[in-house]
Amino acid sequence: MGKLALGFRVINPPMIGFVTQISRLTSLIGGFMLATLISLTCFSVAGRVLNSFLHSELVQNIAPDLASFLIEAGIGPIMGDYELLEAGMAGVIFAFMPLCQLQAGHAIVAIFTDKMPTSFQSVLMFIIEIIFALTLILVAWQLGNGLSDKYRSHETTALLELPIWYGYAAALIMAYVAGFVAICRVYYEGIALLSGQPNRLSKEQEQA
């Protein structure tokens, strides 16, 4: 067991760094996508409100020419904003999954398990990590099936005529990363269970 644990210690640091970096990268991408979608929504809502104001009786009576000019210039809601938001949010949600999985950030209820022996908690955590990994792999698999179906059907959105599979592709890439991180969590939890040492991956996140 000592040699086995020594081998684990040798390969732990590089893998931990890679898993941490890729998880943070996807979260940064998700944050950028989310900020973009928020800005898109705000601009679209502001344009819709301003467009309604320009069509109001007050503005039409005071400055009809100016109102008509601004309306013709494109003042109004962004066309296809709902379609872009719907397609982008799936990718945003899955973009944060790797970091959440890496840091074990899922909501838990530990009313009874906290009072259990440490050995029992370690086994339980290992089982939970396996369930998470299998679930994320299943989700990625089903997203892949959905992507394949949408790609073959050439289905597009109503207004912008964007291929539906774009949204599936964005979500699928992030789901693959989340599945990979979940497998790594199982690996390191298994190491912790066999060696009797704390989970190096969790410990590294606590120190970060």
Domain ranges for the chain: 2-207
Q: How far is CA 32 from CA 86, 89, 105, 108, in A?
A: 16, 12, 21, 28
Choice among 11-20, 40-49, 57-66 with the minimum mean pLDDT: 11-20
**Bridge partners, 156 (sequence order):** 163
**Distance of alpha carbon 93 from alpha carbon 89, whole angstroms:** 6
**Distance of alpha carbon 187 from alpha carbon 181, whole angstroms:** 10
Confidence of residue 8 (pLDDT cuts 50, 70, 90): very low
pLDDT of 200 over the 90 cut: no
pLDDT of 4 over the 60 cut: no
Residue 109: per-residue pLDDT: 73
Confidence of residue 156 (pLDDT cuts 50, 70, 90): very high
- How confident is the model over 65-85, as a mean pLDDT? 91
Nearest residue to 87 (alpha-carbon basis) of 164, 142, 146, 140? 164
Residue 125: per-residue pLDDT: 87
What is the residue-averaged pLDDT of the chain? 86
Length of the chain: 208
pLDDT of 140 over the 50 cut: yes
pLDDT of 201 over the 50 cut: yes
Q: 172 CB contacts (<8 Å, ≥6 apart)?
A: 140, 143, 144, 147
* Residues 196, 197, 200, 206, Cα dihedral to 10°: 120
Confidence of residue 205 (pLDDT cuts 50, 70, 90): low
Residue 104: per-residue pLDDT: 80
pLDDT of 43 over the 90 cut: yes
**Distance of alpha carbon 204 from alpha carbon 208, whole angstroms:** 6
**Distance of alpha carbon 44 from alpha carbon 46, whole angstroms:** 5
- How confident is the model over 141-154, as a mean pLDDT? 95
Residue 10: per-residue pLDDT: 40
- How confident is the model over 181-208, as a mean pLDDT? 74
